[in-house]
Structure formats: C-alpha cells, structure tokens
Structure 1
Amino acid sequence: MSIGMMAEFLSYYSLWISMQTSPVYESTKRSVFLDVYRGSAVLLMMIFHFCWDLRTFGFMEYSIYDPFWVYFRSLILTLFLSAVGWSTYTSLTKMKGNTSFWRRDSKLFISAASISLATYLAAPNQWIYFGILHFIFVASLITRPFAKWPISSALTGAAIITLYHSTNWLHFPNAFSTITDYVPLPQRTLDIVFPFPWIGVVLIGPLLGYLNWHKCPMPSFLLIEVLAFMGRFALPIYLLHQLVLFALVAAFKMVLELLT
C-alpha cells in the first residue's frame, strides 16, 4: 500500500470514528428524507471516486479542473456539509444539554489530531494539517450557536457564499504561501479545505431543519430504499468504498495486462 493510500485510509478511518458520535446518528427516530438526501451525496461521491480511479489507471482522461468535475465535487460537498448544519439544528431541538456535543467535539478533535500525526509520520512533506476533519471540527463549533436561529444562520451563510462568488473580499490567494513562510508547514498537503465558501454551506443547513424537510414523506420504491440504505450506513460506506473501488479497478487493470 502506497503512502498516499495509507494516509487516505487513515483519514477515512478517523472520520468514521469521529462521526460515529455525530448528532445525525444519535436520534432514535431516523428521517427517511434525510437519509435519502445523504444517500444521494454518497452515491455521487462513489461515482466521483470511481471515475478518479479509472483516470488513475488510464481508463479515462480528464482534468480535475474541468468545470464539470469542479461543479460535481462542489455538489457533493454541498449535500454533505448542508447535512452537518441540518442535523445540528434537529439535534438541538431534541437535546436538553450540550454533553453529547462536547463529547463529539472531543473525539473529533482527537481524530483530527491523529490524522495530522499519522500523515506527518507517513508523509512528512505532505501531511494534513487542515483537512476535512479539521474543517468539520471548526465548522461545528461555529455553526452550533447560529443553529439556534436558523433564519439568521441561513442569511449569514448565503451572504458568505454571495460575497465569495461576487467579490474578492473572501479570497485570500496568498494566504497559503504566507502561512507556510512563517510556519513550518509543507508546501503541498494530501488534503486541505479552505473555510470559504464552505462554512456558508454549513450555516444554511439549519434552515432545512427549521423548514422540517426531514419530515417530508417519501414514496417507497427500490431507488428510494437503496438511497435511504446508503444514507443510513453512510459512514461505513464512506470508510470502505474507495478502498474497494480502487482495488477492483486495479485488479481489472492487472487482468487486462496479463491477457495482452
């Protein structure tokens, strides 16, 4: 297993551990609509990574900077991150204290720190110092007080996204190089998530809970059941899918080489 695959596996494993305490999975009564919503993101993510694997082994040729793939990735992130704010709101309406939240935050912080340590040991020139786990930890702390006022939270999130896409106010093109000049961080990293505009997406999430989207009835047919299943078991699927897909494509490539 290469260093990159090892680091990716550690990232998936830590994210799975940390999100086991997420409010999404603490409710006793699940929302089919929210499961389908999250399951749709899981399905798109699997398609995205499968195409990535095909590209890695030479079965497809495309640039990850092509507009289609940029928007495709943005759609996946939007679904996942809006679900973070959404589930935060629904959990706040059910919980009487913050004990579960702080327990989750502690585990999330430890998991993020573990990813940084593990990738530093495995790939010191590309270790992860602010990846998806680090972002979710910070975004959870920021979103929680806003989630109590979902309309204000959504307006704030919309304002952030609008400013990011219509102005340069929230663009910091030299921030990365400036930070690495003063702090001994690598010039390249295996994973990095910039706060803007994605914190805006998380802040819009509570509005979906306020509008009771999770209570929307869903028809019962095969596609809905499959998506709901994927949403219900999103974490283990998220943890294992890329390893399975990568191995399958690699095995197929090996068989083709043996036959030719």
Structure 2
Amino acid sequence: MYRGTMPPPMASTPRFARLDALRAGWMLWMAAFHFCFDLAHFRLLDANFYTDALWTTQRTAILSGFLFWAGLGQGLALQAGQPAARFWRRWAQIAAAAALVSAGSALMFPRSWISFGVLHAFALMLPLARWGAARLHTAALLALALACALAPAWLQHPLFDSRWTNWLGLVTRKPITEDYVPLLPWLAPLLLGLAAARSAGLRHWLQGSAPLGLVRLGQWPLSFYLLHQPVLIGVVLAFIHATRAAGP
C-alpha cells in the first residue's frame, strides 16, 4: 500500500473487536470529562478547564487517543481494501456533523464558537491520510509525524491567528473557542496510528475478543459524540431545576 499499490476492494471491511472496545473506552472517558466540564460551566463544580493541568492533560490524552484510533482504523481499512465510496460516505457524515457542531456552538457560545474542532480536524485529516500519508514508507511516515508535532513551535506567525487561517495550527496565541484541534500538531497522532496499522502483531491482537458492550458502543463514535453533550447538559439542567424547585 505505502509502496504505491492498493489492495483490491472488498465487499465489506472487517471489524477489529479490540479496536472498537478501545475506542469505546475513550468515548466513556470523553463523556466523563465533558460531564465535569458541564458541571463547571453551570458553576456546580469549581474547576478551570482552560488552565488547570488536571483537565488540560486529560483533554490532550483523550484527543490524542481518538486521533490515534482513527489513524489506526484508516490504516486497517486500507489494508482490507475498503472502497473509496464507503470512505466518502463516512466522510460526508463527519463533515456534516462538523457543520452542525459549529452551528450549535455558535448558539451556546457566541463569543467562542467552534470553527475548527475535532470533527473539522477529522474531515481534513482523513483524506490527507488515505490519499497522501498512507503511501509513504513507515520511516517517512514517522518522520512526518514528528515534524507535525514540532512545527507549531518552529513556524508560528501572526498571519495564522485569524479564524480563516488558524486551522493550520501555526498560531502565536490560542484562539478563543470551545474546541480547537488544528492540523498541526494534531495530525501527528493520526499518522502514528496509520503507521501502527502496519504491525502484523498489533493487527493480530486487535482481532481478539473484547467485552461485547464496549465493542458495540465503539462502533458508533460519531453518533455518541453528537448526542452525549445534549444528554449530559439536559441532565445537569434537570438537576438544577429540581434543586431549585425543592428549595425554600
């Protein structure tokens, strides 16, 4: 594949139970993180999610994991001969969801709405991975991942500070937004996942068994991502309403 050839298309792409389970674990971690964020937003929890290392480190780990799993999944799909049409159907869902997130965040956070968050990043990175990075030799792929990780510290410029250009990641200051996942440095973990998919030992391990509940949950990451926050916010608002109604 990374030598310029592609496997023949298959009728369906096989699933890897342990990859689905790992993804589900990250989804549950993300939901717990966002629940705490919602509590802090409604002043039910004293926490600063923008500067406190307890929360910023978790965000980095959660996001890095999702991008790594995405790169790993894309690499496995390519090796299995996933048809381009299936990829583009999934891509269209992600792109539409990204637009929905931008619109919804503009209503809830008009001063810090999401112009380039995690779904926007996926919509940009996945085609780059499939039709670009996936054709590189593993050494070049790893070198590119390292360059992506280091580039923001080397090449930042005020030109990239606007909403029209900050998606690249070479900003001199973090934009005011509720979610910001620029191409650089966040393409790096996705590229590492793409490289990891070439390990025969890892592929064999991922085909092993895993808890069915996690496997099933891990097969619906986009739906979970779109629905979990409205549900969590609804729970928090219901709790606030019930507390006020029960008060003196």
CA distance in structure 1 between the aligned counterparts of 2:46 and 2:141, rounded to whole angstroms: 41
Distance change in 2, residues 1:205/1:29 (3 Å): same
5+ long unaligned stretches in structure 2 = 1-10, 166-174
Which residue of structure 2 lines up, in the alignment, with residue 18 of structure 1? Answer: none
Partner residue of 2:81 out of 95, 98, 102: 95
Provide the secondary structure at the position in 2 that maps to 1:62: coil
Distance change in 2, residues 1:160/1:218 (3 Å): same
CA distance in structure 1 between the aligned counterparts of 2:109 and 2:57, rounded to whole angstroms: 29
* Matching residue's letter, 2:69: A
Partner residue of 1:240 out of 227, 235, 244: 227
Partner residue of 1:46 out of 26, 31, 36: 31
Q: What TM-score, normalized to structure 2? A: 0.74
Native 8 Å contact 2:17 2:209 kept in 1 = no
| Equivalence map 1:37-76=2 (5 Å) | 37-64=22-49, 65-76=51-62
Does 2:196 align with 1:208?
A: yes
Deviations 1:53-104 (A, max 9, x none): 2112322101111111111001110111111211111111122753333444
- Alpha carbon RMSD of aligned pairs, Å? 3.3
Does 2:17 align with 1:32?
A: yes
Deviations 1:185-218 (A, max 9, x none): xx85554322221011111111221124343165
Deviations 1:127-165 (A, max 9, x none): 54433333212211221221234623233213422x25x
Native 8 Å contact 1:31 1:215 kept in 2 = no
CA distance in structure 1 between the aligned counterparts of 2:190 and 2:96, rounded to whole angstroms: 22
Q: Identity of counterpart residues, as a percentage?
A: 30
* Matching residue's letter, 1:250: L
CA distance in structure 1 between the aligned counterparts of 2:226 and 2:103, rounded to whole angstroms: 19
Give the aligned length: 223
Query: How much has 1:171 moved relative to structure 2?
Result: 3.6
CA distance in structure 1 between the aligned counterparts of 2:115 and 2:163, rounded to whole angstroms: 15
More helix by share: 1
Native 8 Å contact 1:154 1:205 kept in 2 = no
Q: What TM-score, normalized to structure 1? A: 0.71
5+ long unaligned stretches in structure 1 = 1-25, 181-186
Query: How much has 1:246 moved relative to structure 2?
Result: 1.3
CA distance in structure 2 between the aligned counterparts of 1:85 and 1:91, rounded to whole angstroms: 10
Native 8 Å contact 2:148 2:185 kept in 1 = yes
Larger relative contact order (CA 8 Å, sep ≥ 6): 1
Distance change in 2, residues 1:160/1:249 (3 Å): same
Distance change in 2, residues 1:114/1:68 (3 Å): closer
| Equivalence map 1:241-260=2 (5 Å) | 241-260=228-247
Distance change in 2, residues 1:214/1:250 (3 Å): farther
| Equivalence map 1:167-186=2 (5 Å) | 168-172=153-157, 175-177=160-162
